[in-house]
Amino acid sequence: MSKYMLLQDKSRCIGCLACTIACKINKGLGPGPKPVDVISLGPILRDGKILGQFVFMPCFHCEEPWCVYACPTGAMKKRPQDGIVYVDQSLCVGCKSCIYACPWGAPQFDIEKGKVVKCDYCKDRLDSGQLPACVSICISHCLKFGPANEIEDKRRRRYAIESSQFPTQ
Amino acid sequence: MAKDVYSLCFMCTVRCPIKVTVEGDRILWIQGNPFVAGIEGSLCPKGVSAIALLEDDQRLKYPMIRTGARGSGEFKKVTWDEALDYVAQRLKGIMETYGPQSIVLGERTNLSTHVSKTFLRAIGSPNHFTHDALCKGSNNTAFRSLFGYTDAEVGIDYANTKHIVLYGRNIFEAVEVKAVNNLLDAMEKGARLTYIDPRVTTTATKAHRYWMIRPGTDLALNYALMHVILKEGFYDKEFVDKWVVGLKELKEFLEPYTPEWAQEETGIPSREIILLAKELNEQRPHVIFHPGYRAASYTNEIYQRRAILMLNVLMGSIETKGGLFFKKGPGEVGKKAPRKLTDQEGLPKPKQVRFDKVGTPNFPLPDPNHGVPQMLAKAILEEDPYPIKALIANRFEPLLSIPDRSATLKALEKLELILTVDVNFSDIAWYSDVILPESTFLERIDCVQQANGLKPQLFLRQKAVSPRYDTKEYAVIIKELAERLGISQFFPYNTMEDLVRWQLEGTGFTIEDFSKKGFVAYTDQQIFWDRFNGLKLKTPSKKIEFKSSLLEESGFPSFPEYEPVKRPEGNEFRLVVGRCVLHTHVSTQNNPYLNELCPTNVVWINSKRAKDLNISDGQMVKITSPQGSGVLKAFVTDLIHPETVFILHGFGHESKGLKRAYGKGVADALLQANVSDTVGGSPGLHETFVTVSAEL
């Protein structure tokens, strides 16, 4: 896996899709490809409660990326220094092997260029000291990005509070 | 070298502070202003998509004059001089024949609204109106009736609340970035959210308590809530005794409105209503009954909004952390606000009756600063109170935002001049005689934003890049028109920069002060008035008027008897409309990104009702009202009240200039009846019954 993690705090996500659009803009994409998407589940009514969830779907940047193995031209690569899986579009011939290979549908096809495009954690932005496009604008700050063991994760504290009788303020 | 330009978004009227990173004349990135608390870089999907508006070749690109029939879309490209000369000559002719009051200017409230008002007053017309009344006129009047302040002069402290109650205020879809973050932060600290809506929304999924209320019965719920709160003594006695006029009358009036009575009307179990009252009693005064964003659903709207505000008062959640507060202006710290052109001495104040009759017995109470726009078609068609012959629409869309589109279209035919100023090729632009293209918010400086609040601040919209097309700033367009009409003395500027400098004189700030962070603050301290001794109320009694002199002096009751809400019969449904997070009213449906993700509206219909009508999910159905009809895809779901169907507002554009949005979806305005809350001023946008049929 890459040394980074892109964590979605589901309790804060409102499914606004600003991340999807920011990603497309950063990658110069027209209608169609969505390197990151937010899958809306529900809402449903269960036991008198309304349930709904938004699931953020970027690329997982696998340790053993099937897309890289599937790529016949060497366009799909893993960055040695941080494990980011990315596509070198100058080598991509648009065969879509990576799209078939990925179990999660992360690589997308940019029909305007005839090439694959995918989430690369915005390595262009990372290399100049910025956050990935999706994280930088996230409306509710529900997306957190950084080295995997340094990310603030409020879930343990939240669970502890919810399951206790302690006043929280 | 890239540089950061701090500015204000304008994809919607919230105007979130933004940071635009620019290299040369190219925008590299837009995000929320990192220096503003509650924003800290974040932006909504509309704001993110602004870059596509800037570069869109389907926006209005140059001045145009109509050559074919109205609505044919045949225009010729002209120069600014040709367009402005033509408009000036037509306006002069109309004023000579019919008088200056025959000219009406309508706009969405914006930072240059004082420029529009100055223009109309200078030519001698009383007929300026804003979109506001179509959205929240009754809320404005409700606030004035209780506090003497308008809704715009009161803010909400989301970050410190312990419980927020939302009546259809779909806060996580019709978003303000700051409010979203502040409320989510409060919820992480344990705040509770109660959401009341005939339809399940994203906000409902985040709520601790959700009530699928029968549409239109919110007032019944609130009467019962207040009944319980007063009966059980669940209110802030010290605050109420100090400030409220009419508590005894309210208590007597509410006697018959028990939770059991409300259960019948609203469908919400009486024990649930009592439980909510009990819970709030523990959390007050850090409790918010949200006054609402759009407040234009029912003809009793003002009383529903007053009830919400009275609930806040009973909780003592006025001028307190985690409640409502009065917004403080520069005067509070002994400083001066930016000047407005309307402040100028010698600017005429036309005395004639307004076209919408606000200020007369027809509409004694709505705010004349905004008017009652839904009277436009009637005034034009019936020439009552006098002939209206010219409409100037500045970023305003009468065809999609005033109920009964067909009547509006018919009225437009009677006009001798329709002028549109906009960035989009809107439906009204398509029907116009002259189109003047405005520069987008990324291409212009705008008038100063006076942001009153706990800390009074000023924000400035800065120009990030040069105009992509032959467009101008609105205030400059009006100035150039004023020159041609011989009233330029009221427009003491040539450029936007001149105007901003003129506005800032006396404030102690300069235009350069905004370049670092995009805003300046008059003080670092939050200002709360002393809530026991220092509330500066502006009602005649200087108290909070449950028993309202504003209402009663005009012959309206303070506490009207509840009138049962009509239930739809047969295959009828009550039409309810609303927003989604991906679009702003009627103005973003053609944006390439937003259009891709949300290209049309669908009709939400309850599963059981759909089954009775042989309608299955995904099927195309015909939706019909006495005003019009259209065909939409059905979204069949349990998550909407059986009496209701729902569609998103903003679709059904008929301008072929909007090539992506043209013909997609159905406009709510096509179906809605034009009825009003004549006390408060809003239209009743949910007072229309429609039928839904599988037969197309």
What number is the ipTM of this complex?
0.97
**Which residues of chain A have a Cβ shorter than 8 Å from any chain B Cβ?**
11-12, 14-18, 20-22, 24-26, 30-32, 42-43, 45, 49-53, 133, 136-141, 154, 158, 161, 167-169
Q: Which residue is closest to B186 within chain A, CA to CA?
A: A169
Q: Determine the residue type at A160.
A: A
Question: Is the predicted pLDDT of residue A101 greater than 90, yes or no?
Answer: yes
Q: Do A168 and B29 touch (CB under 8 A)?
A: no
Whole-number CA gyration radius for chain A: 18
Binning pLDDT at 50, 70 and 90, where does residue A2 land?
confident
What DSSP state is assigned to residue A59? -
Q: Which residue has the tokens 């050559």?
A: B67
| Interface mutation target, options B21, B205, B659, chain A, most CBs of A under 10 Å | B205
pLDDT at residue number B176: 98
Q: Do A140 and B206 touch (CB under 8 A)?
A: no
Binning pLDDT at 50, 70 and 90, where does residue A162 land?
confident
Q: Which of A15, A137, A141 is facing B202, going by the closest CB pair?
A: A15
Binning pLDDT at 50, 70 and 90, where does residue A68 land?
very high
Q: Determine the residue type at B131.
A: H
Q: Which residue has the tokens 């899958």?
A: A39
Burial class of residue B551 in the structure, from the number of CB atoms within 10 Å of its CB (0-12 exposed, 13-18 middle, 19+ buried): buried
B386 - beta bridge partners? none
Q: Which residue is closest to B581 within chain A, CA to CA?
A: A16
Q: Which of A11, A133, A141 is facing B42, going by the closest CB pair?
A: A141
Q: Is the peptide bond before B285 cis (omega within 30 degrees of 0)?
A: yes
pLDDT at residue number B89: 98
What residues in A contact B51, CB-CB < 8 Å? Answer: 25
Burial class of residue B351 in the structure, from the number of CB atoms within 10 Å of its CB (0-12 exposed, 13-18 middle, 19+ buried): exposed
Q: Which of A21, A30, A161 is facing B48, going by the closest CB pair?
A: A21
How far away is chain A from the Cα of B595, in angstroms, using its nearest Cα?
A: 9
Contact B630, B671 (CB under 8 A): yes
Q: Which of B45, B173, B638 is facing A18, going by the closest CB pair?
A: B45
For chain A, say whether B180 makes contact (Cβ under 8 Å).
Answer: yes
For chain A, say whether B188 makes contact (Cβ under 8 Å).
Answer: yes
Nearest in space to B313 (alpha carbons), one of B248, B253, B244: B244
| Interface mutation target, options B593, B604, B646, chain A, most CBs of A under 10 Å | B593
| Interface mutation target, options B51, B183, B184, B590, chain A, most CBs of A under 10 Å | B184
Q: Which residue is closest to A20 within chain B, CA to CA?
A: B45
For chain A, say whether B204 makes contact (Cβ under 8 Å).
Answer: yes
Q: Do B581 and A16 touch (CB under 8 A)?
A: yes
What is the dihedral sign for C-alpha B108, B109, B112, B115?
positive
pLDDT 10s digits, B581-620: 999 999 999 999 999 999 999 999 999 999 999 999 999 9
pLDDT at residue number B139: 98
Binning pLDDT at 50, 70 and 90, where does residue A156 land?
confident
pLDDT at residue number A48: 79
Q: Is the peptide bond before B45 cis (omega within 30 degrees of 0)?
A: no
Nearest in space to B11 (alpha carbons), one of B45, B43, B44, B46: B46
Number of A–B residue contacts, CB under 8 Å: 103
For chain A, say whether B275 makes contact (Cβ under 8 Å).
Answer: no
Q: Which of B29, B177, B189 is facing A139, going by the closest CB pair?
A: B177
Question: Is the predicted pLDDT of residue A164 greater than 90, yes or no?
Answer: no
Q: Do B47 and A24 touch (CB under 8 A)?
A: no
CA dihedral (B406, B408, B409, B410) in degrees, to 10, reads: 90
Q: Do B41 and A22 touch (CB under 8 A)?
A: no
Q: Which of A22, A53, A154 is facing B48, going by the closest CB pair?
A: A22
Q: Is B404 left (phi over 0), alpha (psi -120 to 50) or beta?
A: left
Distance CA B589, CA B668 (A): 14
User: How many CB atoms sit inside 10 A of residue B494's CB?
Assistant: 11
For chain A, say whether B44 makes contact (Cβ under 8 Å).
Answer: yes
What residues in A contact B200, CB-CB < 8 Å? Answer: 43, 45, 50
How far away is chain A from the Cα of B198, in angstroms, using its nearest Cα?
A: 13
Q: Which carries the bigger pLDDT value, residue B440 or residue A164?
A: B440
What DSSP state is assigned to residue B657? T
What residues in A contact B162, CB-CB < 8 Å? Answer: 169
What DSSP state is assigned to residue B439? P
Strand, coil or helix: B216: coil
Contact B284, B315 (CB under 8 A): yes
pLDDT at residue number A167: 60
B287 - beta bridge partners? B163
Ranges in chain B, pLDDT < 70 = none
Contact B429, B402 (CB under 8 A): no
CA B612 to chain centre: 37
Binning pLDDT at 50, 70 and 90, where does residue A1 land?
low
pLDDT 10s digits, A78-99: 999 999 999 999 999 999 999 9
| Interface mutation target, options A8, A16, A125, A130, chain B, most CBs of B under 10 Å | A16
Instruction: Collect all residues with Cβ–Cβ distance below 8 Å to B347 and sequence separation of at least 6.
Output: B118, B121, B122, B341, B490
Q: Which residue has the tokens 């589901």?
A: A10
Q: Which residue is closest to A31 within chain B, CA to CA?
A: B596
How far away is chain B from the Cα of A82, in angstroms, using its nearest Cα?
A: 25
Instruction: Collect all residues with Cβ–Cβ distance below 8 Å to B593 and sequence separation of at least 6.
Output: A21, A24, A25, B45, B48, B49, B52
Distance CA B377, CA B586 (A): 19
Q: Which residue is closest to B195 within chain A, CA to CA?
A: A50
